[in-house]
């Protein structure tokens, strides 16, 4: 059994061991204090017996307060009733404790409260109740600190599972879309330019390999992501031919950096789908990637059909999934701006690849 299991496990045997350890520790502490104050005048067995008797009442008060009064009354904001019950139960338990105790406990560690065997008064009960609140405070602090930790741990785990499930859903939405577009490319090339089919299939094979192999990892080499983009651009250039002009520039060193797979690709694909894919006239696409240490900047722009401006937001809508992935994977680590002007559509992404 690990230390963590001892303090946080919900198994019955572990919970019993945890409580016994606490009780034993407190009895040992007070026995040591009593023996120290008694300066050896009282035998250890007698001190241990008396402290154990007192501990029974101390912990009875602690368990009553921690497991019943606090969660059932205080947490329900019934403050007056809680104050009455916590004081009343403390006084009653103190009376029982003083009735069966031989006062050795007080004689050893709190001589000012010792009655000398002459019985006890109401002030003695009040003093004893005050002393017992120390155990209640320690007990409640340990229990609710532990409970708070478990709640936060479960919350963090649930959030992690939710984000993981959301990412999988986004991935399932993305894959068919990418594959369908690339098959369209192959079909188009096989009809219009069959002599290029062999090289196109080779590029397509590399794209599919990235989709089904590399994508399984949480992070991939930035260089592999950029290679994927280059292969995709090659496929689209074969598809659109001379009517499309593409400017693709990379500056900086991507070798040591990693990125979530298929994070940059959708921005590039979006340019081809909503730019030359919707315009039968001559089109252009400008893609610039700048890498400075761990920061990446992606700027993509594409021409839009002359007769369509601010059409229906379809190009921006095509990026909804990737924006969701950015929010999940890189919260507070990215800045994305999208603008649409007459004849062009522009995306600027700044990303810190921590």
Parse the chain into domains and list their residue ranges.
3-156, 193-352
348 in the Ramachandran plot: left (φ > 0), alpha (ψ -120 to 50) or beta? beta
CATH class (in words) of the domain with range 193-352: alpha beta
Question: Between the CA atoms of 266, 267, 270 and 276, what dihedral angle is there, to the nearest 10 degrees?
Answer: -130
- In degrees, to the nearest 5, what angle opens at C-alpha 123 toward C-alphas 119 and 126? 110
Specify the residue for token string 């409260």.
Answer: 113
**Alpha carbon 227 to chain centroid, angstroms:** 32
For residue range 93-107, list pLDDT tens digits in order: 888 877 766 444 444
Q: Are 259 and 219 in contact (CB under 8 A)?
A: yes
pLDDT for position 161: 63
Contacting residues for 179 by C-beta, under 8 A, at least 6 apart: 208, 211
> b/e for 283-298, b at 16 or more Cβ within 10 A?
bbbbbebebeeeebbb
What the block records as the tokens of 194 is 């069959």
12, pLDDT greater than 80: no
pLDDT for position 91: 86
**DSSP reduced 3-state for 121:** coil
The span from the CA of 335 to the CA of 225, in Å, is 19
φ, ψ at 282 (rounded to 5°): -60, 140
> What number of CA atoms fall less than 13 Å from residue 204's CA on the CB side?
22
Please give the model's pTM, rounded to 2 decimal places.
0.53
The span from the CA of 333 to the CA of 107, in Å, is 64
Q: Are 246 and 237 in contact (CB under 8 A)?
A: yes
For residue range 17-33, list pLDDT tens digits in order: 877 887 888 788 877 87
Of 145-154, 284-293, 296-305, minimum mean pLDDT range: 145-154
Which range has highest mean pLDDT (10-19, 214-223, 237-246)?
237-246
Q: Are 69 and 127 in contact (CB under 8 A)?
A: no
For residue range 30-54, list pLDDT tens digits in order: 778 777 766 556 677 777 777 777 7
- Residue 251: band (very low, low, confident or very high) from pLDDT cuts 50, 70, 90: very high
> b/e for 2-19, b at 16 or more Cβ within 10 A?
eeeeeeeeeeeeeeeebe
Burial class for 41, CB neighbours closer than 10 Å (0-12, 13-18, 19+): exposed
Contacting residues for 31 by C-beta, under 8 A, at least 6 apart: 44, 47, 48, 51
The span from the CA of 10 to the CA of 334, in Å, is 41
> What number of CA atoms fall less than 13 Å from residue 209's CA on the CB side?
10
**DSSP reduced 3-state for 101:** coil
291, pLDDT greater than 90: yes
φ, ψ at 344 (rounded to 5°): -150, 155
Going from the C-alpha of 300 to that of each of 205, 267, 344, the distances in angstroms are 25, 7, 10
């Amino acid at each position: 059994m690990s230390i963590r299991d001892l303090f946080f496990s919900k198994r019955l045997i572990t919970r019993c061991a945890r409580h016994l350890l606490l009780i034993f520790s407190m009895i040992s502490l007070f026995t040591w204090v009593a023996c120290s104050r008694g300066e050896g005048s009282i035998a250890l067995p007698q001190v241990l017996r008396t402290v154990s008797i007192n501990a029974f009442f101390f912990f009875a008060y602690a368990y009553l307060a921690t497991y019943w009064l606090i969660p059932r009354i205080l947490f329900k904001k019934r403050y007056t009733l809680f104050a009455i019950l916590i004081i009343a139960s403390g006084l009653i338990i103190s009376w029982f404790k003083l009735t069966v105790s031989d006062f050795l406990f007080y004689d050893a560690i709190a001589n000012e409260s010792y009655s000398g065997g002459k019985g006890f008064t109401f002030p003695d009960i009040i003093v004893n109740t005050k002393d017992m609140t120390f155990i209640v405070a320690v007990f409640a602090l340990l229990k609710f600190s532990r409970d708070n930790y478990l709640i936060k741990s479960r919350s963090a785990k649930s959030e992690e599972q939710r984000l993981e499930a959301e990412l999988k859903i986004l991935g399932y939405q993305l894959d068919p879309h990418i594959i369908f577009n690339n098959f369209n490319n192959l079909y188009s090339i096989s009809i219009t330019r069959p002599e290029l089919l062999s090289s196109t299939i080779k590029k397509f094979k590399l794209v599919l390999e990235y989709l089904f192999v590399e994508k399984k990892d949480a992070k991939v080499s930035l260089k592999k992501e950029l290679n994927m983009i280059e292969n995709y651009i090659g496929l689209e250039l074969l598809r659109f031919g001379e009517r499309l002009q593409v400017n693709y520039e990379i500056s900086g060193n991507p070798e040591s950096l990693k990125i979530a797979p298929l994070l940059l690709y959708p921005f590039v694909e979006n340019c081809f789908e909503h730019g030359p894919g919707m315009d039968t006239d001559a089109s252009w696409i400008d893609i610039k990637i700048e890498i400075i240490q761990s920061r990446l900047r992606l700027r993509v722009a594409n021409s839009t059909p002359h007769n369509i401006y601010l059409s229906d937001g379809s190009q921006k809508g095509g990026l909804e999934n990737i924006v969701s992935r950015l929010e999940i994977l890189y919260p507070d680590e990215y800045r994305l701006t999208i603008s649409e002007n007459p004849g062009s559509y522009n995306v600027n992404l700044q990303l810190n690849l921590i």
